[in-house]
Amino acid sequence: MPRIVLHTSIAAPIERCFDLARSIDLHMASTDWSGERAVAGVTSGLIGPGQEVTWRGRHFGFTLTHTSRITAYERPRYFQDCMLRGRFRRFCHDHHFETRGDGTLMRDEMEFEAPFWLAGKLLECVVLEHHMRTLLERRNRCIREAAESGDWQRYLRS
């Protein structure tokens, strides 16, 4: 089962980074290339403990739907989202945040398992791990850019 770990340093306060990582609107902006949209559950603003979101977007030429729930939540240091329904056999994403000097270290740990048993294992190794890493790197870049500029305010409106 693939496990992706990414570390992203952000020159912004931990609370801002934590909340941007929960922003449905920022997530959609970071995946605009796939047309990914929140279509059920929390569809805008910030997602919180116990809440669900259903995403629909185009990946690998297919329209896919994925429903996740926030299964753990300790603001501003940690939250976890896990798949309830979707194409993966298993999918969990842990979001960790630590204050580092005047900024924040954001650590993502994502584990997933493809469907289709043996064919799924091949898919994980050949295509899926790279795709998921690229998607996560792009998302983290958007979080960092928003957090370090005045752009964060459009995602964290009161």
Closest listed residue to residue 85, CA positions, set 44, 120, 40: 40
Total number of domains in the chain: 1
Per-residue pLDDT tens for 96-142? 999 999 999 999 999 988 765 555 455 555 567 888 899 999 999 99
Answer yes or no: is pLDDT of 91 > 70: yes
The verdict on pTM exceeding 0.85 is yes
The answer for residues whose C-beta is within 8 angstroms of residue 68's C-beta and 6 or more apart is: 52, 53, 55, 81, 82, 83, 84, 86, 91, 93
Question: Which CATH number goes with the domain that contains 105?
Answer: 3.30.530.20
- Please, are residues 120 and 113 in contact by the beta-carbon 8 Å criterion? yes
Residue-range definition of the domain harbouring residue 93: 3-155
Per-residue pLDDT tens for 114-123? 765 555 455 5
